[in-house]
Structure 1
């Protein structure tokens, strides 16, 4: 992004300098190459802090509705200040004896171009921010898929008999292989066990249960949910940065952004 900005500045300044020399020659007041490059370089250098402002706004507010709203509101003072600054640069190089009225007239005449350039900068910043978000989302999705594949491999190569949980289902107590469990959900001092479209209870907190399970297979996807990664059929990134996890049974769970990052960190991704 910064390399593109530097390239755009250099190309724009030299192109404007070439145009300024032609215009000055046609008006009978030729200027040197050095003067024209210095003039236009100083004029378009005013856009460098504007580019920094766009970058700072997008870092602070994101590329969504809030970021667009802030950039839109900032356009009014930015365009006014840039137009005045550019008019001052023009008068410094070409009309040093001009008065305030001439400066305001030059600033007003530059406003349409300033609006266009500001809009282009904001659009480029938004495009770069959205691309970065898409790249990060795809990277996280790839890491999650790798983690799911590893969880399935761990389950497949386990030689020891599967650990069992004794689950209360109504008045009965049912043994359930841990590998058959799709997910656990918190219910106060109990945990609801979900397996093969069935449910049961165990008297234990979700935090204690999580502490004795293999983190390569079971991971927290939400403050109240613990998921068997080997039983996740597919994943989908959501617009808010969270994930939708579709289990083998068809049940859909959400991995919030907080636990999404924690999940990848715990799995070493």
Structure 2
């Protein structure tokens, strides 16, 4: 829904820009024609300029498509710049032929090329404005999507905390090996699990030396299969995190998340596992 809203905003702005530019250019065209002693009607001027600037509508759609495909970062800007080398002269030439058709001017290709060169500065300006508007819309869409994912994650964290708070049965305990000792650890106190071959490293709470950890003889895949998916979710192919123990989240520039746990430990959920996490939680 949010993506469709951004697209609708882009097209609404494009239509507004087209109408405003057409009417403004028609007004100037009538003034120029009157000064040259060849007055034209309002309908004729609007038809002429409307046909001329209508050429930009498919180009605006192409700019938006390129931004959707390549993004609004450096790669997208590079693609838009390279596309301008072809699109701007092409539009100038097409507009020149349109001018000649409406004004009944002859001269063939020589006249058209001359007019196209004269229109190039305006065409460059309009293309730059369209590209800038497209970049602004693409950045807005990205910000909306990032915020939507962040909201989904916060909802998932609240769900996990609620699931632990509603537990009635005694909390499950894990017998964790720590050197020569075996320590019982409530599953609810575990912050995250890390795969270590046929073992799993259990990280929980805080001890005198900082975060406490130990081993259980079980694979991460087998452990995950018996855990509540609303509470424990993958943040990496070798990591399971207790969502109820996430204290803070931060969106990173590459689309991943930094998860800060209650102990102060930090985990990063890549874009792939970020989306898998939300899909698994039904978000």
TM-score (norm 2): 0.92
| Aligned-pair CA distance for 1:5 | 0.7
Aligned ranges 1:60-139 → 2 under 5 Å = 60-139=69-148
CA distance in 1, matches of 2:251, 2:225: 27
Structure-2 residue corresponding to 1:224: 238
CA distance in 2, matches of 1:189, 1:26: 88
- What SS does the aligned partner of 2:194 have? strand
CA distance in 2, matches of 1:69, 1:205: 46
| 1:258 corresponds to which of 272, 277, 282 | 272
Structure-1 residue corresponding to 2:162: 153
- What SS does the aligned partner of 2:142 have? helix
1:172 paired with 2:181, answer yes
| Aligned-pair CA distance for 1:15 | 1.5
CA distance in 2, matches of 1:99, 1:61: 39
1:247 paired with 2:261, answer yes
1:21 paired with 2:35, answer no
| Aligned-pair CA distance for 1:227 | 0.4
1:206 paired with 2:220, answer yes
CA distance in 1, matches of 2:39, 2:203: 82
Alignment: residue pair count = 269
Q: Which sections of structure 2, spanning at least 5 residues, go unmatched?
A: 1-9, 206-210
CA distance in 1, matches of 2:105, 2:123: 22
- What SS does the aligned partner of 1:216 have? coil
| Aligned-pair CA distance for 1:256 | 1.1
| Aligned-pair CA distance for 1:12 | 1.0
1:163 paired with 2:163, answer no
- Give the alignment's Cα RMSD to 1 decimal: 1.1
Q: After the TM superposition, which segments of 4 or more aligned residues of structure 1 sit over 3 Å from their partners?
A: none
- What SS does the aligned partner of 2:149 have? helix
Structure-2 residue corresponding to 1:55: 64
| Aligned-pair CA distance for 1:207 | 1.4
TM-score (norm 1): 0.97
| 2:50 corresponds to which of 41, 47, 64 | 41
| Aligned-pair CA distance for 1:171 | 2.1
Of residues 224-233 and 99-108 in structure 1, the stretch that sits farther from structure 2 once superposed is 99-108
Deviations 1:189-245 (A, max 9, x none): 221111121111112221111111011111111111110001000000011111100
